[in-house]
Structure formats: C-alpha cells, structure tokens
Amino acid sequence: MRVNGIDYRTVWMEGRSVFLIEQNLLPFQFSIHEAKSCAESCHAIRTMMVRGAGAIGAIAGFAMAQAALEAHEQGFLSFLQKAKTEIESTRPTARNLFYAVEKVYAAALISRSAAVSVAQQVADRDAADSRKIGEFGSELIQDGMNIETHCNAGWLAFVDYGTALSPIYQVHRQGKKIFVYADETRPRSQGARLTAWELNQAGVPHTIIPDNAGAYLMSLGKIDMMIVGADRIAANGDVANKIGTLEKAIAAKEFGVPFYVAAPTSTFDQECPDGKSIPIEERSADEVLFQDGLTSDGRHEKILVCSPGSSAFNPAFDVTPAKYITGIITENGIIKADGGTIDHLLNGKI
C-alpha cells in the first residue's frame, strides 16, 4: 500500500527486528515502530499497535522467528516452547496467529534460518491471498453499489491489500463508481479511524456511520451489499468477527441485503466444529469507558466518556451463524457457508 508516495507493508522483518505501522497512532500520526525482540513483538500484539487477523498472524510468525534467533544452543527447545506459549497468549481469537506460530515453530525445529524464511513465507502468502480475495470479490460488485463494512479489514489488518476492502480497492481501480459506509466500530473505532483513513488514502468515496445506524440504512434501501472480514471461521461456516458483526448480519437478512465475509483459508479452523467453540477475547473495560483523540490544539488526549464509577463489559468479537452469510470470499474462490462443511466446499484447499 502506498502512503506518502512510499510502498509499505503493515508489518515486516529486517535482521532480528520486526517493523510495523503503529496503528494506535492512526489516523493522526503515521509512524513505524521497531520491535527488537520476541517479547517486544508480543507487546505490540497485546496493545494492538498491530491488529487485524492477517497482520497479527504475520507478526506472530516473525515473533516466533525472533525467538529462534534469540535462543541459545543449550536449552533451545524449552526456550522455543516458552516463546510459543507467550506468543499464543497475546490474543486468543484470530486463527491466523496460531496458524503462523505453528508453521514457524515447526521450521525452527529444523534450523534458525528455516524459521525466518517460513515466517517470511507466511507474510508473503497473507499478502498474495488478500490480492486474490480482491479479484474474486470484485466480481460481486456492480457499478453504483453502496457497500457497508464493519471494523477494519483493509490492508492495515493484513500484510497488504486487506480482505473486505480488497475487492473495493480493486473495483475502484477499475473505475467502477462505488460508495462505502464505514461502521465506526466502538469501542476502538477501527472503522472510523482506520478504514476511513485507508479509504481516504485510496480516494474511495465513503462516509462514517454510527454503529447503530446500519439497520436503519438497510431499511431505507441504502445498502446494496455488506462485506466484513473474519478472525476465525469454524468448520460449519460460523464466523467470529469484530463485535457488532452479528447484529449487522441479522439486519441484512431481514432487509434482503447480501452479507459477504472475506477471509483467507488461514482463518479457517477445522478444529472448531462450530462458532460456540471459538474463544472470544474480552478486553479491558477502559477501552469502553475512555476514548482518546486529537484536541483542537493538536494534542493526543484520553478522556472518560462514560458515567464515572460505572463498570463496562468489553467482548471484542461475536459469532455470526453461517445461515446469515451469503458467501465467504477466499483466495480459492467464493463459497457458500450454509449447507455443508467448508473443507468439502473448498475441495480440501485449506
């Protein structure tokens, strides 16, 4: 993705360091953060400096490679196992994190250089899959369509291109006229901050809508299609995605709006039979109670936006049953989740 005339990936590795676009500072400041060790990469995942299923997967793979480079000959295996547990404890929901760590861990058992090259392959595959998702998804989008999206499943959430936004960028480049409604996505506002920033960079016409406006817009016939990303997809096609996705899917069904999920097969989890077995992250109440933003004199400030003394519950994801999903756009094509196991639908290409 091009920012200020320079091509960037969301996260990459050079030597022993991992570099990443610091997403907590966007859209106010574009800055690159260096994580010099596996521990620093874990911190970046926990604090959401880097976020989004594919980007988390890529940095988790790089963190595992960092651990392989940090480990001494003596006690190599136990150091590696400890690092694996540490990385896997950072965030529980996105399947891509576990997918990447398992692959790089297996390579690290062969050699340090194998760990680094497999981590790089995982990141490269994420970018390539996202590009393919854009190609398949673009076939669904007609000239003049209004598309709603939730959270940020753009290039910032992956190594490059994105998933839900990848088809949108593709048709925009083809010259089709489209308009995007970006759900603000409380409490961390990934839609209002990141999706809107990305769409601005790419020149895609859009507007930000409050989280609770989607059903109303659908009832007015203003939404032609909804595309969202996914953090984990169970074997029966149930989809875990950012909190708020489920109510949009139910509204879409009610108003006859096609509801698509865009995700690479590295997000599919054959070990989870259905959505109930997907672990859902609960994050700090402070993310609901406080908001940070830019003051009129250009300072970053965090302020309390709720009743002082009240508590808050903050589940980060919800699960949309397969029956609400029109189709899942993958790097291998578009599949229908409802009506068969997904590995059958993908002919084993997971």
Terminal Cα-to-Cα distance of the chain (whole angstroms): 27
- Could you say whether residue 104 binds ligand MRU (CB under 6 A)? no
Question: Does residue number 97 form part of the binding site for ligand MRU (CB under 6 A)?
Answer: no
Binding segment toward ligand MRU, per CB under 6 A, in 136-144, 147-155, 174-182, 195-203: 147-155
Q: Is 239 in the site for ligand MRU (CB under 6 A)?
A: no
Instruction: Tell whether residue 141 is a contact of ligand MRU (CB under 6 A).
Output: no
Please tell me whether residue 266 binds ligand MRU under the rule CB under 6 A.
no
Range in contact with ligand MRU (rule: CB under 6 A) among 13-21, 50-58, 219-227, 246-254: 50-58
With CB under 6 A as the contact rule, which of the stretches 1-9, 135-143, 227-235, 299-307 interacts with ligand MRU?
Answer: 227-235
> Residue 242, interface with ligand MRU (CB under 6 A)?
yes
Binding piece for ligand MRU, criterion CB under 6 A, among 35-43, 80-88, 145-153, 325-333: 145-153
231 is catalytic: yes
**Residue 115 touching ligand MRU (CB under 6 A):** no
Out of 191, 214, 229, 327, point to the residue binding ligand MRU (CB under 6 A). Answer: 229
Residue 51: CB minimum distance to ligand MRU, A: 3
**Beta-ladder partners of 269:** 234
User: Annotated catalytic residue: which of 126, 231, 238, 269?
Assistant: 231
SS3 string, the chain, reads CEECCEECCCEEEECCEEEEECCCCCCCCCCEEEECCHHHHHHHHHCCCCCCHHHHHHHHHHHHHHHHHHCCCCCHHHHHHHHHHHHHCCCCCCHHHHHHHHHHHHHHCCCHHHHHHHHHHHHHHHHHHHHHHHHHHHCCCCCCCEEEECCCCCHHHCCCCCCCCHHHHHHHHHCCCCEEEEECCCCCCHHHHHHHHHHHHHCCCEEEECHHHHHHHHHCCCCCEEEECCCEEECCCCEEEECCHHHHHHHHHHCCCCEEEECCHHHEECCCCCHHHCCCCECCCHHHHEEEEECCCCCEEEEECCCCCCCCCCECEEEECHHHCCEEEECCEEECCCCCCHHHHCCCCC
Shortest distance (Å) from residue 162 CB to ligand MRU:
8
Task: Decide: is 52 part of the binding site for ligand MRU (CB under 6 A).
Answer: yes
151 lies in the site for ligand MRU, by CB under 6 A: yes
For residue 9, state whether it binds ligand MRU (rule: CB under 6 A). no
In whole angstroms, what is the distance from residue 17 CA to residue 66 CA? 8
For the bound state, the minimum distance from the C-beta of residue 24 to ligand MRU, rounded and expressed in Å, comes to 11
Considering only residues 168 to 207 of the shown chain, the ones binding ligand MRU according to CB under 6 A are 190
List the interface residues with ligand MRU, window 286-345 (CB under 6 A).
Answer: 316
Give the residues lining the site for ligand MRU (CB under 6 A): 51-53, 151-153, 157, 190, 228-231, 241-242, 316
Catalytic residue numbers read: 231
